[in-house]
Structure 1
Amino acid sequence: MPGSPSSTAAAQRFNVNLSILFTELPLLERPAAAAAAGFTAVELWWPWVDSPVPERSELDALKRAIEDAGVQLTGLNFYAGQLPGPDRGSLSVPGAEAQRFRANVDVVAEFAESLGCEALNALYGNRVDGVDPAEQDTLALENLTLAARAARTIGATLLIEALNKPESPRYPLVSASAAVEIVDRVNEATGLGNARFLMDLYHLSMNGEDLPSVIDRYASKTGHVQIADNPGRGAPGTGSLPLADLLGRLGKAGYQGWVGLEYKPGDRPSAAAFDWLPAEARAAR
């Protein structure tokens, strides 16, 4: 990572996103692979893209795999449709998709609680042809309110993420300010204050945002950070983002949460994609 990786990494708590790393392995083998690479914490997109309510046996098997590996699940997405794929969430998509999201809310909360996971990410969803954006935004607020209340029952944070316009042209939250505006709306609607911004430095850089300014403005509203280098969405050091400097700035701004490694390993096995990170910096609680 550009900018003194050892000193910066030592001040951070990193987890591994098992939906983008270790994908050469079956899902149930990935927690152990992350542990073998020296990590003690992992996060996941919703693993069952075709089912917001999977069989209990599938949930139990994943729970056992995480527990047996000795890693902590620190972040989990709500159902978001086909991801990776054309979808970017379902909660603002009228009809069956919004109903799928609602059916998933309690499932996610129960599963997260069983593993002590305290951060739940709700992707907003794409704009739909022929549907008034205001109608989608009203539906989104209703569903995000449900999600925030469910998260609160297990002591969790609801995360709202900005994606990037080049890769997600129909996703409406393509700036930090747009995502934070939704955070504020949800907190106002619920009065709970448990909605937070998910600051993904890769997505924001793809949108051309001034990342130091974003950090200075929104660190206090940030509940989770994710990183990948740009261009390429690879490991730190494969692109030109000054990620060490940016994470250092976040720390100085008071951010003490997890930093999710949500990057592509390239043409190497995932275990070889962590050479930039000293072994002693991978184990954190």
Structure 2
Amino acid sequence: MAEQTRTDLPWAVNTSILLPDVPVLDRAGRARRDGSTAIESWWPFASAGPGDAEVDAFVASVTDAGIELIAMNLFGGDLAAGERGIAAVPGRRAEFDDSLAVALEIGRRLGTRMFNTLVGTGPLRDLAVDRLAEASRRAAADGRRILLEPLSAVDDYPITSAEDALGLARVLGPGAGMLADLYHLAVNGEDVDAAIAAHGAEFAHVQVADAPGRGAPGTGSLPLSRWLEALPGAGYGGWVALEHLPS
């Protein structure tokens, strides 16, 4: 965390983007040794339906580190090939369901309550909304939430603004919420000050990086300190996660 970026909100680090060269099962321990007390992770498995041994090993890596996993992504497809979620993809219902079931199980075992769910590229089809609605119902029944995140620099991604994410979350119900990544919102041209003032109380989770470059706070020109200081006054009382490229 850069010196000039301060907030009274609790901090977490995203181990997937900050520690890409560290094996997945070593990331929680590394983050704890580096001084973090809470982490989040992208989907930590090679497939949507990992075996019990893989899940057990991941859970053990977090518990053995003595660190809290506050949030995790669901399976997003082949990210390297440009996929950003499978909710909208015909023929992939079983993968979506498997991923959700594994995530909720990890949530029960580790206390994780937030699961970022990329919706897939292209128009927001009824198929995607139906799958997300079912995921929202299952998450709410388990005391958890799926998160909807506006993304930048992804061609044809249907959620790019706070209104996009919040509008869909309202349709899906209390098991869904918005992940406000201030970097993505700013890069997409959102008036972040206005979004925080109008919707900060509805944000379910917040992530930060600086721009240009998606580096650590303080490496770019975004007024992150101002935004973070405004969040509590707008009604936000959750976590702030560092999701920036390693520096």
Bucket of the pairwise TM-score, normalised by the shorter protein = over 0.9
Whether the 8 Å contact between 1:212 and 1:246 is mirrored in structure 2 is yes
Contact 2:202 2:236 in 1 (8 A): no
TM-score of the pair, normalised by structure 2: 0.95
1:32 aligns with 2:45: no
Provide the aligned length of Structure 1 versus Structure 2.
247
Structure 2 residue matching 1:60: 3-state secondary structure? helix
In structure 2, distance between residues paired with 1:194 and 1:218: 18
- Structure 1 residue ranges, 4+ long, deviating more than 3 angstroms after superposition: 1-5
SS of equivalent to 1:19:
helix
Contact 2:211 2:222 in 1 (8 A): yes
Aligned positions of 1:98-247 closer than 5 A = 98-127=93-122, 133=123, 136-164=124-152, 167-187=153-173, 193-247=174-228
Structure 1 runs not aligned, ≥5 long: 128-132, 188-192, 267-285
Alignment counterpart, residue 59 of structure 1, candidates 27, 31, 55:
55
Contact 2:40 2:69 in 1 (8 A): yes
Is contact 2:114–2:147 with CA below 8 Å preserved after alignment?
yes
Out of 65, 87, 91, the position equivalent to 1:69 is: 65
User: Root-mean-square deviation (CA), in Å?
Assistant: 1.6
Take 1:84 and 1:178, find their aligned partners in 2: how far apart are those partners? 25
Taking the aligned partners of 1:235 and 1:218, their CA distance within structure 2 comes to 25
1:117 and 1:145, CA in 2 relative to 1: closer, same or farther beyond 3 A? same
Q: How much has 1:78 moved relative to structure 2?
A: 1.1
| Higher RCO structure (Cα 8 Å, ≥6 apart) | 1
Equivalent residue, structure 2, for 1:248: 229
Contact 1:205-1:211 at 8 Å conserved across structures: yes
CA apart distance, 1:99? 3.2
For 1:275, the equivalent position in structure 2 comes to none
- The residue type paired with residue 117 of structure 1 is T
1:101 maps to amino acid: F
| Paired letter, 1:199 | A
TM-score, normalised to structure 1, is 0.83
Percent identical pairs in the alignment equals 40
Q: What's the offset of the Cα at 1:83?
A: 2.8
Q: C-alpha separation between the residues in 1 aligned to 2:110 and 2:241?
A: 18
Larger radius of gyration: 1
Looking at structure 1, the residues matched to 110 and 4 of structure 2 have their Cα atoms a distance apart, in angstroms, of 34
Change (3 A) 1:95 1:119: same
SS at match of 1:47: coil
Q: Is the 8 A contact 2:145 2:176 kept in 1?
A: yes
Gaps of 5+ in 2: none
